[in-house]
Structure formats: structure tokens, C-alpha cells
Amino acid sequence: MTLDYASFLAVFLVLPVAIFLIFVIWPFIQAVYFSLTNWTGFSPQMGFVGLDNFVRLFQDGAFMQAMGNNILLAIVVPLITIIIALVFASLITVGGPSHGQVRGLKASSFYRVVSFFPYVIPAIVIAILWNMIYAPSGLLNGILGLFGIDNNQFAWLGDQRTAMPASIFVMVWGMVGFYMVLFIAAIKGIPAETLEAARIDGAGRFRTVTSIMLPQIRDNVQTAYIYLGIAALDAFVYMAGLNSTGGPGNSTLVMSQYLFRTAFEKGQFGLASAMGVVLAVLTLVFAGLVMGVFRLTGGKDEGGRS
């Protein structure tokens, strides 16, 4: 082994693995241990209680509802966001004239900037902004009033029927611009000759998108779905800013929100750690399911090549 090879291994393999083990794996192992105790978070003493915390969690109606809300978000938010992002990306890249070079709509750069703008705003700012828009005397009811719709100053976040849909809209609004830009970059990587050949063969815009573009950017869609699902399984910032109490009847309560309240308001860090472990397991299961579905539906060929 030469000095050059040894230094290469040290810098690009040993050091990153060591950092990963220290700052990622070890804290997770600690969290698993804490989840088996009755630690209060502010005392050096902790008693081992085994799986009692997990039993308590799955007997807690509020936690089960929060987990159900998270699962709903993990299904709906990525699906809606990706569909809208793909539509916008398609319009900006191949939605232009049907003759000549394949190109997007006129002023597509302007649409790209406007659509990406919400993503550069911090999530907590977005949540607080929409909290004020959804308020009974907020902008949304004011606009509806201008069109003659009198809803008696409806509280969009204060009604169990609309609290979750309104929250989902905010999350999609805040994230769709980034994934649109991601898909645009992926589409730009498709050889122009491929798209032009499809046009010569008589493929319309819709057929070009579904039969040419989507199979080419499949891995990008998979990555986007996983990242969006992880964000939806967390959703703490959005939900805390929109409705810090968990909404009417806990309709918008998510696990990370309940975890925070359990740890820092009730001082039950052992129980909160158990919630974190459940959330981590759900996240891993979600990512595994998405990758499995994409693989089964043709995301990878038999040789394992992208």
C-alpha cells in the first residue's frame, strides 16, 4: 500500500465513515436506548422500562391520530407536488410551438423564477404567512368576499373539515418550485435528438411527456418522491406555524409536533425518544417501499443499470 493510496482511503473513506458513525449512527443508537427508559431529559437518573413506552404510544389516541396524519401527508403531498412540478416542467421545456426546435413556452424563464420563489422563503415564514391568509379576517376570505361569496369569516384552519387540506396546500405551494427546477434540469439532460425524433414521428406533447420524458427522468422522480415523503413525515415547521395546537380535534397534529410537546412541555424524553424511533422506522419503511415500487415497475433494468 502506497502513501498516496493510504491517504486517499483516510480522507475519502475512513474520515467520512467515522463522521457518519459519530454524528448519525451513534445519536440514533442513543435515542433507541433512551426510548427504553423513563428519562425526563433534565436528570442524570433514568430507569429502564423496556418496551413500556412503545406500548403507551400505541395505546395513545392522539399519537395514533398524529401517525395517521403523517401517513396521509406522505401519500398526498409527494403525489400532488410531483404531478404539478412535472406539468410545469413540461410546459417550460417542451410546451412551446409544435414546429421547429423543441422548446418551452414564451417567457419560460420568468415562469421558472416565479414558481421557484416560494422555495427560497423559509418554511416557518411561509407557514406564518398562510396562517394570516387563512385567518377569519384574512386575505382569502377578503378575496372571496369581493366575488360575492359570504362565508361568515370562515376559519380555514379552525375547522376540522378544511384544516388538513389547507395545510397540504401550503406544503405543496412551498415545495413545488424546487422540484419543478429539478425536473427541468433532468429534462434538459435528455438528448434533443430524442425529443425531435418523437416529434417527427408524430408524437404530440402529451405523448412526448408520458412516453419519452417520464421514462428518462424516472430516477429523478423516485428521488423527489422519497425526499418529499420524508419532508411530509416530518412537517413540523409547517404544522407548528399553521396551527401549533394540532388543529381542531388534532386534525393537523403530526408526530414531530407531538414529540416536541411531550419532550419539552411534559418533560418525558424517554417517551419522546420512542416517538422518534417510530418516526425513523416509518421513514425507512417509506423509502424502502418507494424504491421497491419503482424497481418492480421498471425503475432498473435486469443488469442493475440506471
Q: Going from the N-terminus, what domains does the chain have, and what CATH number goes with each?
A: 55-297 (1.10.3720.10)
Cβ-contact 32, 249 below 8 angstroms: no
HSE of 206, CA atoms in CB hemisphere, 13 A: 0
225-247 pLDDT, tens digit each: 999 999 999 999 999 999 988 99
pLDDT tier for residue 162 given thresholds of 50, 70 and 90:
very high
Least confident of 27-31, 33-37, 83-87, 205-209: 205-209
The total number of residues written for the chain in this structure: 306
The crossing angle, in degrees rounded to 10, of helices 163-188 and 218-234 is 150
Mean pLDDT of the chain: 87
Taking the alpha carbons of 76, 81, 84, 87 in that order, is the dihedral positive or negative?
negative
CA-CA distance, 227 to 287, in Å (whole number)? 9
pLDDT at 96 over 90: no
First to last CA, the chain: 33
pLDDT at 90 over 70: yes
